Amino acid sequence: IAEKGESLRGVPQVSYEDIGGMSDEIRKVREMIELPMRHPEIFEKLGVEAPKGVLLYGVPGTGKTLLAKAVANETNAHFISISGPEIMSKFYGESEARLREIFKEAKEKAPSIIFVDEIDSIAPKREEVTGEVERRVVSQMLSLMDGLEGRGKVIVIAATNRPNALDPALRRPGRFDREIEIKVPDKKGRLEILLIHTRNMPLHEDINLEKIAGSSHGYVGADLEYLCKEAAMKCLRRLLPEINLSDEKIPPETLDKLIVNAEDYQL
Ligand code: ATP
């Protein structure tokens, strides 16, 4: 698994079933991205360009990256993930060349999805941009997007927590002209996310996920995932005294005791 901010390429292993509380967003993404990728002929017949760029916005940890990966997987598209800060710092001095390479790779391996996380750090409003380098990177990004054919072969998905901090030039027609808000999940959404992150966990019958969903107001997907992992770790710690590290194999009767219970799930 790539570290956050590290480039990631290939077809991701995430599907829509791995995303909770986002049925509206998934429907929009299917219409805006999957449809043109699978059936460019519809757009050709209508005489309109397929979208080239879609902006996902919402607070961190709500699943923007997850959604982008799932679309790439469902459309069997080549997925290239980059992050704004990575482009600006890791490739400092070569940022524009790096962007050109990424777009070239995307065209060669099409259908492709380029995912740009934290795009606001590449393309903040120009009045906020101080350096010449940043200005050149923004221009390069815009011209690369303008150079895409708009036939659904290469689609750029960008994510940001601060949509209003973006250079408005990026949101003009033919660029990121579609937007999807990724909301903080409601109770039903939180329950769906909890069900996803506990599907491979042995849960005691005293656990009431609906109750946990009800009392975790404000938790986003990443928080709920963390909560589930922590519960598993608490369960493990409880049993640790019974585990003999030098045993070649943990006895099945000990493994059977690894059951996450309601106490492990403390909000
Ligand atoms: P950031 O803005 O910090 O990049 P993000 O919105 O892209 O955040 P992700 O990186 O997709 O969020 O989410 C982090 C992790 O949290 C995911 O890998 C996933 O395990 C979990 N997660 C987040 N949202 C959801 C969700 N809606 N359903 C299931 N899991 C989720």
**For 64-104, what is each residue's pLDDT tens digit?**
999 999 999 999 999 999 998 888 877 777 888 999 999 99
Q: Summarize the confidence of residues 248-261 as an average pLDDT.
A: 90
Do 154 and 114 contact (CB within 8 A), yes or no?
Answer: yes
Q: Give the confidence band of 8 by pLDDT, cuts at 50, 70, 90.
A: low
Q: What is the pLDDT of residue 31?
A: 92
The reply to whether ligand 1 has any atom less than 6 angstroms from the CB of 199 is no
Query: Which CB contacts under 8 angstroms, 24+ apart, belong to 185-192?
Result: 185/20, 185/21, 185/22, 185/62, 185/219, 185/220, 185/221, 186/21, 187/213, 187/214, 187/217, 188/21, 188/213, 189/20, 189/21, 189/22, 190/20, 190/21, 190/216, 190/219, 190/224, 191/20, 192/20, 192/21
Q: Which atom of ligand 1 is nearest to the CA of 58?
A: 6
Q: Compute the Cα dihedral for 56, 62, 65, 67 and give only its sign.
A: negative
How many A from CA of 67 to the centre of ligand 1? 8
Q: Give the confidence band of 164 by pLDDT, cuts at 50, 70, 90.
A: confident
- pLDDT above 90 for 138: no
The reply to whether ligand 1 has any atom less than 6 angstroms from the CB of 61 is yes
Do 155 and 113 contact (CB within 8 A), yes or no?
Answer: yes
The reply to whether ligand 1 has any atom less than 6 angstroms from the CB of 158 is no
Q: What is the mean pLDDT of the chain?
A: 89
Q: Give the burial class of 241: count Cβ atoms within 10 A of its Cβ; 0-12 exposed, 13-18 middle, 19 or more buried.
A: exposed
Q: Summarize the confidence of residues 169-193 as an average pLDDT.
A: 94
Q: Give the confidence band of 133 by pLDDT, cuts at 50, 70, 90.
A: confident
Q: What is the pLDDT of residue 7?
A: 54
Q: What is the pLDDT of residue 49?
A: 85
Residues in the chain: 267
- pLDDT above 70 for 3: no
Q: Whose CA is nearest to atom 29 of ligand 1?
A: 19
Q: What is this model's ipTM? A: 0.95
How many A from CA of 64 to the centre of ligand 1? 6
Please state, in angstroms and rounded to a whole number, the distance separating the CA atoms of residues 181 and 117.
15
The reply to whether ligand 1 has any atom less than 6 angstroms from the CB of 180 is no
End-to-end Cα spacing for the chain: 28
CA distances from 240 to 227, 234, 251, 258 (A): 20, 10, 13, 10
Q: Which of 197, 122, 125 is nearest to 114 (CA)?
A: 122
Q: What is the pLDDT of residue 95?
A: 87
Q: Which atom of ligand 1 is nearest to the CA of 19?
A: 28
